[in-house]
Amino acid sequence: MEDVILFKNKVNCCGCGACANICPQRAIKIKEDECGFLYPVIDKKKCVGCKLCKKVCAYQNKTPQNEPIKVFAAVNKNESQLMNSASGGVFSAIAKQILADDGIVFGATLDFEKGHAVPHHVFVEKESELYRLQGSKYVQSAIGDMYILAKQFLDEGRKVLFSGTPCQVAGLYSFLNKEYQNLVTIDLICHGVPNAKFFDDYIQMETRKRKGKKVVGYSFRDKKKGWGMNERIDIIDINGKLKNIYVRARANSYNTLFLDGEIYRENCYECKYATRLRVGDLTIGDYWGIEHEHPELLGKYGYEEKKGISCILANSNKGLAICKESSDLLQMNESTFSKVSNRNGQLKKPSEKKESREKILQLYSEYGYEKVEGWFRKKYMKQIIAHSIYNKIPRKVGIKLKKILKG
């Protein structure tokens, strides 16, 4: 029997896990490479050569993608849900609609097991569980067997909302291989994904620096100082007390390297989904630059920069219908793709691969995260100092300074 080769180059694998989900022999396991990135590995003893894994690969085969029908600026009308979301709270509003109709919602969560971060996809059936899926996760979420479970729910006639990166949504569609009217999908405006091992090593280092016992929680986008990139690490200190650590993204290594596109998967730099053509029924993300594109909205209808504002791309009639059904929960105002994409570059093209990526990953694989941290502090010293100072300025003063600097 001829050996099945899933991919010849890592640029041809997004790590969605559709191949592992489809394999009738359960011969494919998703494993970490030397840097922590997830890739499928075939157990040749179990493989029967059916090649379903090759056929299901959405990344290597053609995936249907659609032009956005309508584009909106949006905010959640519920203050609590808005403030617990990374931007405008669109996902939680739509998820509530699905759950109210006895549906199932799939999405990424960030759990902690024995103090270590475990980003992975899960499903929820109750609104009280929805908090697990709220907020951005700038790290790859392991799909596990969620495609299999989603199909089971769909075949039972349950309404399913599946959210994830575009490649994860494409992987689901390819796995299902048929259209389900009871399925709604949301893809995210995605820069690219670092891996879970790299991320966990970063927060373990931050915990040790502060003499904490273990990490129990983390938020990539805490809103204590407003809408933006402000992380929060929740640790148990040496006295057994919970301590919240707040750090601006540009003052720490992981988030800076993420924002600068230096630590993504290999395929992210050639992503076929970083385009105007979308795979999900809906695309959601931050409406960065809304103060320039729609200044007339700010201060009205619940649009406040400090609380976060989202954009929605309705890419199918199903997606458009969901927007209309959610109008009681969401304030939506029409916008255009051109305006939304002005400061969401991944709606036009993939992130640019930096020369420094190879150096960073080499340091990490050979010496661990501390070496990456040392490299970062040397290269970004001025930025770290500037943002550390800015972090001590009261939020209202900071907003005024930002406006002055922007002219």
Nearest to 259 by CA among 220, 309, 293: 220
pLDDT range class, residue 393, cuts 50, 70, 90: low
Residue linked to tokens 């990953």 = 361
Model pLDDT for residues 104-132, shown as the tens digit of each residue: 999 999 999 999 999 999 999 999 999 99
Q: What is the pLDDT of residue 246?
A: 87
Domain that holds residue 19: 10-56
Q: Are residues 270 and 339 in the same domain?
A: yes
pLDDT at 386: 78
- b or e along 380-405 (b: 16 or more beta carbons within 10 Å of the residue's beta carbon)? beeebeebeeeeeeeeeebeeeeeee
In a domain, 4, yes or no: no
Residue 401: pLDDT over 70: no
Tokens of 251: 């003052």
Give the pair of three-digit tokens for residue 343. Answer: 């400061």
- pLDDT tens figures, 129-148: 999 999 999 999 999 999 99
pLDDT tens by residue, 336-368? 999 999 999 999 999 999 999 999 999 999 999
Judge contact between 118 and 217, C-beta under 8 A.
no
For position 37, what pLDDT does the model report? 98
Give the CATH number for residue 28.
Answer: 3.30.70
Token pair listed for 325: 């059904």
CA angle 174, 177, 178 (to 5 degrees): 135
Place of tokens 């907003």: 399
At 247, the pLDDT band (50, 70, 90 cuts) reads confident
- Reduce the DSSP state of residue 86 to 3 states and report it: coil
Number of domains in the chain: 2
Would you place residue 176 in the very low, low, confident or very high pLDDT band (cuts 50, 70, 90)? very high
Identify the CA nearest to 18 among candidates 64, 60, 47, 66.
60
Say if residue 312 is in the same domain as residue 351.
yes
pTM exceeding 0.85: yes
User: Six-digit token pair at 276?
Assistant: 């105007």
Model confidence at 395: pLDDT above 60: no
Kindly give the interhelix angle for 369-379 and 381-391, rounded to the nearest 10 degrees.
Answer: 90
Q: Same domain for 49 and 76?
A: no
Residue corresponding to tokens 């180059």: 9
Residues 268 and 360 reside in one and the same domain: yes
d(CA 134, CA 18): 24
| Same domain membership, residue 313 and residue 211 | yes
Q: How far apart are CA 286 and CA 66, in angstroms?
A: 20
